[in-house]
Structure 1
Amino acid sequence: MRKVMTSAELKLWNELRAHRLMGLGFRRQFPIAGYIVDFACPEKKLVVEADGCHHTETDAVASDQARTVRLEQDGWIVLRFWNDDIIRDIDNVCQHIVIAAGLGRASE
């Protein structure tokens, strides 16, 4: 469990905390099935992960895939966003989260 957030995690957390995003209740560094996820909305069983460049390494990719499979087996929806996308386009990231939570729909 990390106390210091990356700049992308901090930016995302500022959008998610205190029910700021469509009233969704997110928790940070939340334990699920032996893992600690970056952000979780237990009510919607939604996990949001902020991934940096180290997630492109072979071992990390395999680990992330296994983690996602395990969480999905327990009924969680897992969303992964690159740190760069969070920093550059937080509005689109938030839109994807809202849609995944079932509170919005993709624009046509």
Structure 2
Amino acid sequence: MPTTRFEESDDSIARARQLRRDATLAERKLWSILRAAALDGRKFRHQQRLGPFFGDFVCQAARLVIEIDGATHDGDEAQAYDARRTAYLAREGYRVIRFTNTDVMTNLEGVVGALRSVLAVSDTPSPSHATVPRGPLPLPQGERK
């Protein structure tokens, strides 16, 4: 028997809760910085569903997905899955930034600095472009070949 939209939603909620409950130490450490809009007033969600996938941390306002990758992302199959997932998210208008567990555990300050840099770029939209680019951006005047 096919599931209803409501049942799928319940499954998504349960899966997100499980992912949050089973978060790695690195995810918990970064979440302590991102939660409650503690990073420069930006609101992040932990383990948010994005289509058929979940993002470790998602800032909807900046269309940014932060992924924390551990050893399970090292194999060819896992990397192919990550590439498909990143491509899907890019088509949906998201930028994906990845850090390793080691990055977060040993250089949290550097990770936070990198996030601030990425978020600063999203704070300065170009008046001539849509906020979510759907294709190649045109070159500024005078640089066309």
Q: Is the TM value for this pair above 0.5?
A: yes
Which residue of the partner structure matches residue 91 of structure 1? 109
**Which one has the bigger strand percentage?**
1
Q: Any stretches of 5+ residues in structure 2 without a counterpart?
A: 1-14, 123-145
Match of 1:62 among 72, 75, 80: 80
CA displacement at 1:63 relative to structure 2: 0.3
Instruction: Provide Cα deviations, 1:13-53, integer angstroms capped at 9, x if missing partner.
Output: 00100011111100001011211111100111000011001
CA displacement at 1:103 relative to structure 2: 5.9
Partners of 1:69 and 1:42 in 2: how far apart? 17
Partners of 2:51 and 2:116 in 1: how far apart? 24
**RMSD (Å), alpha carbons:** 1.3
Which residue of the partner structure matches residue 6 of structure 2? none
Structure 2 length-normalised TM: 0.69
Give the number of equivalent residue pairs: 104
Structure 1 length-normalised TM: 0.91
Percent identity reads 35
Which residue of the partner structure matches residue 42 of structure 1? 60
> Counterparts in 2 of 1:1-108, with a 5 A limit?
1=15, 2=19, 3-102=21-120
Which one-letter code corresponds to 2:56 in the other structure?
D
Q: Any stretches of 5+ residues in structure 1 without a counterpart?
A: none
Larger radius of gyration: 2
Higher relative contact order (CA 8 A, sep 6+): 1
